[in-house]
Structures are given as C-alpha cells and as structure tokens.
Amino acid sequence: MNQLFQIINHFSITGNITDIKPFGSGHIHETYRVVTETDTADDYVLQQINTNVFRDPEAVMHNIGLVTEHIGKKLKASGMSDAGRRVLTPVKLRDGQIMYRDHANKVWRCFVFITNPKTYDRAVSDEQVYEGGKAYGNFLWMLSDLPASNIRETIPGFHDLDLRLNQFEDACRTGLKERITETRHEIELLSTRKDEMRTILQLGKSGRIPVRIVHHDTKINNVLFDINGRGLCVIDLDTVMPGFVHDDFGDSIRTFTNTGEEDDANLDNISMNITYFEAFARGFLEQAGSMLNQVEKDYLALSARVMTYMQSLRFLTDYLNGDIYYRIHHPNHNLQRTRAQIKLMKCMEVSFDKMQRIITSLG
Ligand code: GN1
Ligand code: MG
C-alpha cells in the first residue's frame, strides 16, 4: 500500500488521499481506486499497465493521449457542460508525461475517476442496451476524422483471426497434453468453423471494408452510464487501434446480448437476447450508420459470431498454454470461459437469420 502512495504522488493530483483499493473487473492490468478526502477533490484510477500484454506502453499512452484530446475538444466545441465526464482524462506527471516508470520498471498511469458511474457486467433493459449501442457508435463517429496513421498498433494483429488461429493451432500441438485431450470436443468444434469465420478477415484483405480507428474491447462493462441510465463515457482505451467496424460491433453483441456471464459455469444461463441485439444495433447505427458502406453493414450480424468465436479461441488457447495470458480466478477458469463463449456462439448461429433481418430493417 505504501508503494502505491509513493507511485500516485508522482502524478499531479489534488486532494488528500484517504485510501487506495483494488478496483474493477479487468483481466489484464492491476487497477486501483484512489480515494480523496473531500467531495470537491477528484478521486482517481491508478493502473499498473501489464507490459507482458502491452509491450510498448509508450505507444499505448501516445494513442490514449491523442484519442482523449480529440474527443475532449469535440465535446467542448459542441458545448457539452459535462465534457469532463464524457471522456477519460489522463493525469499528468509533474513533467507533463502521462506515464510513470518506477524503479522496478513497472509502468503506471492515472485517470480522473468519473463520479457516480454505473457499470454492468450484464444488460438490464432494452433502453440500457440501446444507450450502450449509441455510446460505442458515437465513439467510432468521434474518431472517424482522426487519421488512422496517427494511431500506433499497440498489440500487433490483435483481432487478426489468422494470427489467433495460428496461436490456437500451435497450442493444440505444444500445449498441456492432458488439457488437449480434455478439450478434444471444443477443439474439433472450433476447427470446423474456421473457414466461415475468416469471411470478415478476407473482406478486409480485399479492401471491401475500410480500416477505421476502433476500440477493440467493446464489452458492456467498458461503458459508464450516468444515474439516469444514459451512456456517459467509453473507457479502457488501451486497444484503440486501426481495425474494422466489425471488431467493435461484434464484440459488443457478445456481451450486451448474453443472458449469462462471460464465464458462466451454468451453460443454461447463457442465451442470446435478440431484443437486446435489436436495441444495440439501433443505437449503434443511429450514431455510426451514416459512415458505414453497404458491405460493412451486410456483415454486422456475422461479426457477432466471429468475435464470439475469436474469444472462444483465445480463452481455449490460453487454457491449453497453461493460463499465461488472462488473469484466472480458479484453475479451470479459462475452460469455463471457453465453454460459455462456445454456448453463446451456438445461440447466435441459431438466431443468425433473425439478426440479419434486423440489420436489414434498420437500413
Ligand atoms: C481482455 O481489458 P479487459 O479485461 O476488458 C482482453 C480483450 C478480451 C476480454 C475478454 C488486451 O479485456 O481482448 O476481449 O479480456 N484484452 C486484451 O473479457 O487482451
Ligand atoms: Mg481491455
């Protein structure tokens, strides 16, 4: 704890700190909430960046600095009174940087804590899902005039399905033997879907869908809602990188429409809520629809299946490799996550025609 107090003091914060405590449900970084004494001083979020995952933290913070400034300027220009609550604000060090490297070479950053946010790990109403769709659609819209060449690739090939398939196939050869045997069924199931799931990747390679700056981690819990349930702020900007609209739309559907948890141990809890699909797509397209070409729209429904497939692959790959990437809370956690995601993917396959019709009807 003492160490955390020392770290936070390198940042230009105001207010007396009363507590620093673990915070959030991310799988990657160490995150703390820094509590200050009075209501008038801001609280903060302090994070130790996982440099095994983000090998170039300077690039991550370069992107975050650029993106938050770009969005912040636009919000202010549009006269938003609460602009500071609608975009993350990185806190500067005394020397103006937004990242601190300590003596042990650990890398830290700090954001102003947005007060009274509501976050959800599971959707609660059509209205809330619609608001989430608007928030992520608006995020893409806001970044649509920021040249993609200004943004660095913080994890090369992050959503490149061929790379994920290669990593999966390597793990199937060199991973833990007993786990490979244990997951024969899941390995087979994922392997047989490979070709269809590569469709969006191929559209990208042939230039039929444009590269855009996208978020790449559009989980339901990466949107903050205000007390009235309106979408307030998109957070977790580490993976904002050049990609495709499908990365964001698909990954959103994966968490916004799941009636169970991402890692639900009871597969009966998991299904796809098609009403939520409609609500999310409506909000998303209201904000971002005008910038998308027809091919991008035609493959939105498929992107939900592709992103759920990719997530299944990634969880299973990590399980086979002995849990070296995602933080786990029990020994079978990555297997449980894999099974939950596969169940969701199958539900999406059943609802696929309906999803397609909804997207078409939204125009
Ligand atoms: C990780 O940062 P966090 O925990 O929200 C992962 C995402 C996965 C997600 C699955 C850098 O996100 O890609 O979709 O877990 N982030 C990274 O819950 O790998
Ligand atoms: Mg993330």
Pocket of ligand 1, candidates 219, 221, 316: which has the most ligand atoms within 8 Å of its Cβ, to mutate?
219
pLDDT averaged over consecutive 10-residue blocks of the chain (363 residues)?
91 94 91 90 95 96 97 94 93 94 96 93 96 98 93 96 98 98 98 98 98 97 95 97 97 98 98 98 98 98 98 98 96 98 98 98 93
Q: How far from the centroid of its chain's Cα atoms is residue 83's Cα?
A: 22
Tell whether pTM > 0.85: yes
With a 6 Å cutoff on the Cβ, whether 27 touches ligand 1 is yes
Q: What is the C-alpha separation between 3 and 263, in angstroms, rounded?
A: 33
With a 6 Å cutoff on the Cβ, whether 318 touches ligand 1 is no
Q: What is the C-alpha separation between 288 and 3, in angstroms, rounded?
A: 44
With a 6 Å cutoff on the Cβ, whether 26 touches ligand 1 is yes
| DSSP label of 110 | E
**Residues 211 and 280 reside in one and the same domain:** yes
**Residues 107 and 137 reside in one and the same domain:** no
How many domains would you assign to the chain?
2
Please check whether residue 171 lies inside any domain of the structure. yes
Supply the CATH number for residue 88's domain.
Answer: 3.30.200.20
Please check whether residue 295 lies inside any domain of the structure. yes
**Residues 133 and 275 reside in one and the same domain:** yes
Token pair of 334 as six digits:
């990555």
Q: Which residues line ion ligand 2, judged by CB < 5 Å?
A: 217, 236
CB within 8 Å of 331: residues ≥ 6 apart: 323
| Closest approach atom of ligand 1 to CA 315 | 10
Q: What is the pLDDT of residue 275?
A: 98
Please check whether residue 148 lies inside any domain of the structure. yes
Pocket of ligand 1, candidates 121, 154, 155, 217: which has the most ligand atoms within 8 Å of its Cβ, to mutate?
217
Give distance in angstroms: CA of 49 to centre of ligand 1.
13
pLDDT tens digits, one per residue of 334-362: 999 999 999 999 999 999 999 999 999 99
Please check whether residue 117 lies inside any domain of the structure. no
Give distance in angstroms: CA of 171 to centre of ligand 2.
23
CB-neighbour burial class of residue 277 (10 A; exposed 0-12, middle 13-18, buried 19+): buried
Backbone phi, psi, residue 18, to 5°: -105, -25
**Residues 166 and 266 reside in one and the same domain:** yes
Q: Do strands 212-214 and 241-243 pair parallel, antiparallel, or not at all (unpaired)?
A: antiparallel
Residue identifier of the C-alpha nearest atom 15 of ligand 1: 27
Q: Which domain holds residue 238?
A: 126-362
Give distance in angstroms: CA of 239 to centre of ligand 2.
7
Q: What is the pLDDT of residue 41?
A: 86
**Residues 175 and 262 reside in one and the same domain:** yes
Q: What is the C-alpha separation between 318 and 167, in angstroms, rounded?
A: 9
With a 6 Å cutoff on the Cβ, whether 262 touches ligand 1 is yes
**Residues 234 and 342 reside in one and the same domain:** yes
Q: What is the pLDDT of residue 116?
A: 87
**Residues 182 and 301 reside in one and the same domain:** yes
| Closest approach atom of ligand 1 to CA 54 | 11
Give distance in angstroms: CA of 22 to centre of ligand 1.
18
